[in-house]
Amino acid sequence: MKQLSLDNLRTFVTIIELGGYNKAGELLGRSQPAISLQIKKLEGQLGKKLFDKVGQRYQANADGQWLFEEAKQMLAINDDIFRHLEQDTLRGRLRLGIPSEFASRLLPSIIGEFSVRYPDVSLDVTSALSRQLLNNNKRNDFDLILALVNPDEPMEGELLIEDELVWVGDNKQVMNTNNLSLVLAPDGCVYRSRVIQQLKQQTKAWKISYTNADLYGLIAAIKQGLGVTALAKSSVPPELDIIKNKRLPPLGKIKICLFNQDTQHPQVSLTLADYIRSRIT
């Protein structure tokens, strides 16, 4: 018997409610290609096109509008089941460690949805560099950690995806590749280490023009034309652009891993882990 993916239906409903793929992706913490793939899978399973292209936008057609109403009911029933059965069992305090660039993409959707479903769970979120979160003296301060790991490093956690590292900047700003200006996080940042490692292998001049541990500080500096940076492709914020310039060296891959610590609230931790996993993979 055929079964529809509730995750795909939730994405479909979100697109219509917010008025576009990009806005849905921002809320759900997913890239536009990932959103498009979910809709293609849904359309393939149903054997129906759900959207028509009108100008530069996609609008739900008659089948899409009908499915929209049905899907909302299905999602409501699903959410009510979990709310009823889990509200009494999921309670407590959960300490989450997460890099700031992922916090900006994931937390808006996760916190809202998770908190509504599990009102008795208190989320204590810390944003920091992956190296700091995984430090032996610090990691026991967290129940759940999302962190970046270099491909050649031993991995203790669950591999969610092996992502591409990309150059990121503002396409409206002029970039001088012969004397490259960099906007980076402080020492200990995986991105910073990889950028410097790759640039040292070439002869072009470069300099670090601005340092800030906070993603929003880096975004502001880039918008002011102070330079470019590097991020995991899945974490690039909508305010910035992926730079495709053959004069910039490739940065390779990075592992995005989830570390589920031994906690006193394992069911709470596992449930939030499922939320994070669904937004990244």
pLDDT, residue 141, reads 86
Q: What percent of the chain has pLDDT over 90?
A: 32
Q: Which domains does the chain have, with CATH numbers?
A: 6-86 (1.10.10.10), 99-281 (3.40.190.290)
In the structure, what pLDDT confidence band is assigned to residue 174 with cuts at 50, 70 and 90?
confident
Average pLDDT over residues 209-225: 92
Average pLDDT over residues 242-271: 84
Give alpha helix (H) positions in 184-237.
190-199, 215-223
What ranges make up the beta strands (E) of 55-140? 57-60, 92-98, 121-127
Alpha-carbon distance of 76 to 66, in angstroms, equals 16
Q: What is the pLDDT of residues 71-113, one digit of tens each?
A: 989 988 887 777 666 555 567 778 899 998 888 777 777 777 7
CB burial of residue 116 (10 Å; 0-12, 13-18, 19+): exposed
Least confident of 16-20, 155-159, 227-231, 263-267: 263-267
pLDDT, residue 70, reads 92
Average pLDDT over residues 167-176: 91
pTM to 2 decimal places = 0.65
25 contacts 35 by C-beta, under 8 angstroms: yes
Q: Which residue has the higher pLDDT, 3 or 112?
A: 3
